[in-house]
Amino acid sequence: MSETHGYALTRVLDAPVEDVWAAWTQPDHYARWSGAVRSSLSMDVRPGGAWRATMAGPDGSEFPLSGTYGDVRENERLEVSMDLPGGASTVMAVDLAPEADGRTRIVVSQECGSPQERDMSEQGSGMLLDGLAGYAPTIS
């Protein structure tokens, strides 16, 4: 039996599920909160569709990312695979659920190959959720 190294981060955002979905799936929105360079974004949000982006770090460094989409259920679930150096890939799941008060519960989860990969991925996902939490309420 192999050991898995996963995480799940949950937040409740002050925005309706449709706005949170738009923030994750529309390049103009995604670039405003994710750290992606808008001119580098390509998002074909459908099962098997490809995406690519150049991410800008706080120190000005840039690094390219790419991958494909798996399960895509509008306003509910988005599976995003990311190509990793060396030919490996990983999948991050984004699950959305509307709350009774018009807010959105979001869960970002991922299985990783090692504790170190998990820690780095979890930190990156936490930063994404922080950016999303600040941006999503401004959409409507």
What topology is assigned to 5-138 in CATH?
Alpha-D-Glucose-1,6-Bisphosphate; Chain A, domain 4 (3.30.530)
- Of all residues in the chain, what percent carry a pLDDT higher than 90? 63
pTM above 0.85, yes or no: yes
Q: Which amino acid appears at position 30 of this protein?
A: Y
Determine the pLDDT at residue 3. 67
Determine the pLDDT at residue 43. 96
Element containing residue 71 per DSSP (H, E): strand 62-73
Structure tokens at 56: 């800008």
- Examine the pLDDT at 101 and tell me if it is beyond 50: yes
- On whether the CB atoms of residues 76 and 95 are closer than 8 A, the answer is yes
- Of all residues in the chain, what percent carry a pLDDT higher than 70? 97
Note the pLDDT tens digit of each residue in 42-96: 999 999 999 999 888 778 888 888 999 999 999 999 999 998 767 778 899 999 9
Q: Is 138 helix (H, G, I), strand (E, B) or coil?
A: helix
